[in-house]
Structure 1
Amino acid sequence: MSSIFEGFLSTSEIQEAFSERNFLDAMLRFEASLARAQARAGLIPEAAAQSIIGTCKVELFDVAKIVRESGRAGSVAIPLVKSLKETVGLFNKEAARFVHFGATSQDVIDTALVLVTRHALALIEADVRKALAALLVLAGRHAADPVLARTLMQPASVTSFGLKCAGWAAPLVRSLQRLRLSSANALSLQLGGAVGTLAEMKDRGPQVIALMAADLKLKAPLFCWHTQRDEWVALGCELGLLVGSLGKIARDISLMGQYEVGEVAEPSEAGRGGSTAMLHKRNPVACMVALAASVRAPQRVAALLAAMPQEHERALGNWQAELAEWPGLLTAAHGSARAMAHALPGLQVDTQRMRANLDAVRAALPPQAAEEWFSPALAQHAAGLARAQVQALTELHTSLTHKP
């Protein structure tokens, strides 16, 4: 799913997570789990289940051919299941009729997307935690270092750079909290629904759902969510908020890193942030990636919301539109998180330049205004707030780290 225009805005890990091969592998994991659960529930013969499970290996299939055929079929599940039945039949003709028994195309695709998304969320969380840990270190280290606060892009008063870093960290802690809750709700097995496929399993459908959910380590949903997309879209909204918070950090760092301001800079690294024409430039490429994500993610979230009014029990067009947007949202989120995880631990902070900028503004003001808005007491107050916020945020971050 990468392209020359967005590959550098993403990561190789997230691109691999949403590769065609990896997604078909997740679909085959669903089919293997389905057969395993149905055999345990006494719905299909154990020998048939073993034949299906043993054939659910992505290396046995022509991934490119299946993807090509999905366009004509209207779903990647249709050519995959057809190929799976044919391949199972080569080894056990009787077992072929039990492939995909009682399941729908949407069941296998939705569950595969959940499995791939779970991995993507782990990648995102790991990098958000790196960025957050770096911010807490910066906030503690620079709690007492005064810096110019700016409102409406103009000098306002004195604050603490540590307090500014704590302000960047707080939304990331909240995002981790909300993502954990949203993930617990959204990462659900999909199976059955009002189209009647569970009826094929008679009264053992709930048992199959419970067995598959345990096998795949997913939530066993109370209801089929073919067209009930609220928990799934809520997770997408949380990802959009995270990207926005990371973009806020990138915006501030890029502004503070302008040559005329010179208060911070991204880590210096050979071959990073250069220019084809002006060799003296050091472009803030990590900020660029995070800001690009903050422009692109809202459109993805809006598309998820727009796709929610789905027809009856299975959607025509809206579900397919939602599927197409989801990888792009997760790709933007991980690209942004990775960019900030790279930039923040080695962020170069010039406290002397911060003080010089403060002194320049203070010298240009009438004495009364300078005393009111740039007094040492204000800086000391900001330092105290920074230390208190660092302690509170560290405790929250630690609780999230140790909570299962």
Structure 2
Amino acid sequence: MSIFEGFLSTPETLAAFGGHGIVAGMLRFEAALARAQAAEGLIPAEAAHSIAASCQVDLFDVAKIVRDSARAGSVAIPLVRALTEAVGLFNPAAARHVHGGSTSQDVVDTAMALATRDALAWIDADLVRAIQALLALAEAHADQPMLARTLMQPASVTSLGLKCVDWAAPLVRGRLRLRAAAARALQLQLGGPVGTLAQMRGRGAAVRRRMAQDLGLADPGGSWHTQRDEWVALGCELGVVTGSLGKIAGDIALLGQGEVGEVGEPDEPGRGEATTMPHKRNPVASMVALAAAQRAPQRVAGLLAAMVQQQERALGPLQAEIAEWPQLVMSAHGSARALATALPGLRIDAGRMRENIDRVRSGLERCAADEWFSPALAAEAGALARAQVPALRARLDVC
């Protein structure tokens, strides 16, 4: 991560996909593997206890493991080596049972699933906050007239309430799709070197079931080493939600321009200050969400391109995918957090909205002004908003 990326995400998501977070997830995999294999009689219970006791991330030099991964070709290889050495210090007999019958991709994919599960919970919470703020605004300003703009030009009149409903609806739908996709994609990965679990002497499926339950992940019923469809589908849904957040941010940024001045992000000390102009306040939440919407399509495209994975294990595409994935998740959460923070305090200037309507109306002939800027139009838009808010709230409560 470069210095320019940190503020585009959130501290918790950055930590989840950082070295410490991913290595911790990999150690959770190794502990669960040992426990499951002991329960199935594949390794001694004492060995499993020693392995699980050693799977504490603070016992390891994470920076060294990350450095060594460049030479090894996978972060799992130096991690397993370090874990084997740590177990051997206290129980030499148990060391030979570390990582038994598994493979490096099993460890990495599962650690990524664990980190993604945490990140999705944070994204979900921030989406709920953003949606609730928008629905509250929709109710409070259901009948507030404002200009509708089409092709970047003043068109007719709508209501701020309906605009907020239109912002919220894709987030409600996107949240439901994300949860459905996550239920399919957040799976344990356990296939062994070629996906057959042959080294587990016929107990592989039972070990996989136990591990999935231990880690709170779905049991896929097999290996998905090079079958990335459900995983990439989840990535596509993250991209769509990020685009929906970006659309809201783009509208707010346009409405907040000085020449328009109808809405604005919250005023807080230090928020959006310019280096030289004291009168300037930059819409930083919109900036973060727009940056995410710019970056997400490339990340999603990278995931789709990486689906062409060779045979039972991939050379190149997998490594490209796992490099793209954290960037996509971090952008999605950065966008959701930015708007969840800004929308509850969105500043509304009803007077400016009326001025902008009157300015356009004053340049029209009376019949055209009455047709396109009748007060009844805003009232109709408000009625639409009030009708849709309860339905959106009901879908929000489904999850």
- Answer whether TM exceeds 0.5 for this pair: yes
Confirm or deny that 1:120 pairs with 2:119.
yes
Matched, 1:271 2:265: no
- Map residues 121-200 of structure 1 onto 2, 5 A cutoff: 121-192=120-191, 195=194, 198-200=197-199
Task: Read off the aligned partner of 2:176 and give its amino acid letter.
Answer: Q
- Deviation (angstroms), 1:123: 1.1
8 Å CA contact 1:69–1:79 kept in 2: the answer is yes
Output one character per residue of 1:362-387: Cα deviation in whole Å (capped at 9) or x when no partner.
11111121111111221111011000
Query: What SS is found at the alignment partner of 1:147?
Result: strand
Shift of 1:318: 0.3
Task: Check conservation: 1:193, 1:226, Cα contact below 8 A.
Answer: no
Q: Which residue pairs with 2:221 in the alignment?
A: 222
Contact 1:247 1:294 in 2 (8 A): yes
What's the TM-score, normalizing by structure 1? 0.97
Sequence identity of aligned pairs in percent? 66
| Corresponding residue of 2:78 | 79
Question: How much has 1:196 moved relative to structure 2?
Answer: 5.4
CA distance in 2, matches of 1:304, 1:72: 24
Supply the distance in 1 between the matched residues of 2:396 and 2:194 (Cα, whole angstroms). 44
For residues 232 and 195 of structure 2, the distance between their equivalents in structure 1, rounded to whole angstroms, comes to 25
**CA displacement at 1:193 relative to structure 2:** 5.6
Structure 1 equivalent of residue 323 of structure 2: 324
Amino acid at match of 2:124: E
Query: 2: CA distance between counterparts of 1:4 and 1:253?
Result: 27
SS at match of 2:221: coil
Is this contact kept in 2: 1:188–1:219, CA < 8 A? yes
* Residues 1:196 and 1:388: Cα distance change in structure 2 (over 3 Å): closer
Question: Structure 2: how far apart are the matches of 1:346 and 1:196?
Answer: 51
TM-score by length of 2: 0.98
Q: How many residues align?
A: 399
How far apart, in 2, do the equivalents of 1:245 and 1:340 lie? 11
- Work out whether 1:42 is the aligned partner of 2:41: yes
Mapping 1:4-403, distance limit 5 Å: 4-192=3-191, 195=194, 198-400=197-399
Gaps of 5+ in 2: none
Q: What is the one-letter code of the residue matched to 2:388?
A: Q
Alignment deviations for residues 69-115 of structure 1 (CA, whole Å, 9 cap, x no partner): 11111011111111111111111111111100110000000000000
1:336 maps to a residue whose letter is S
How much has 1:295 moved relative to structure 2? Answer: 0.4
Task: Decide whether the 8 Å contact of 2:102 with 2:193 is kept in 1.
Answer: no
What amino acid sits opposite 1:67 in the alignment?
V
- Aligned equivalents of 1:5, 1:194: Cα separation in 2: 38
SS at match of 2:147: strand
Q: Secondary structure at the match of 1:280?
A: coil
Letter in 2 for 1:34: L
- Large movers: runs of 4+ above 6 Å: none
SS of 1:344 mapped into structure 2: helix
- Offset of residue 194 of structure 1: 7.3
Q: Distance in 2 between matches of 1:54 and 1:8?
A: 36
- Secondary structure (helix, strand or coil) at the match of 2:218 reads coil
What's the CA shift for 1:223? Answer: 2.7
Greater mean deviation of Cα atoms: 238-247 or 365-374: 365-374
Asked if the contact 1:179/1:238 (under 8 Å) is kept, the reply is yes
Indicate the RMSD between aligned Cα atoms, in angstroms: 1.0
Q: Secondary structure at the match of 1:294?
A: helix
**Contact 2:32–2:214 under 8 Å retained in 1:** yes
Which residue type is aligned with residue 37 of structure 1? A
Quote the Cα distance in structure 1 between the aligned partners of 2:154 and 2:75.
56
1:110, 1:245 → 2: CA distance? 28
Q: Deviations over 1:337-370 (max 9, x none)?
A: 1110111000000111111111111111111211
Instruction: Note if contact 1:210-1:220 (Cα within 8 Å) is conserved in structure 2.
Output: yes
Please tell me whether the aligned partners of residues 189 and 219 of structure 1 are also in contact (alpha carbons under 8 angstroms).
yes
- Taking the aligned partners of 1:283 and 1:96, their CA distance within structure 2 comes to 57
- Contact persistence 1:102–1:197 (CA under 8 A): no
Whole-angstrom distance in 2 between the partners of 1:307 and 1:21: 26
Amino acid at match of 2:104: S
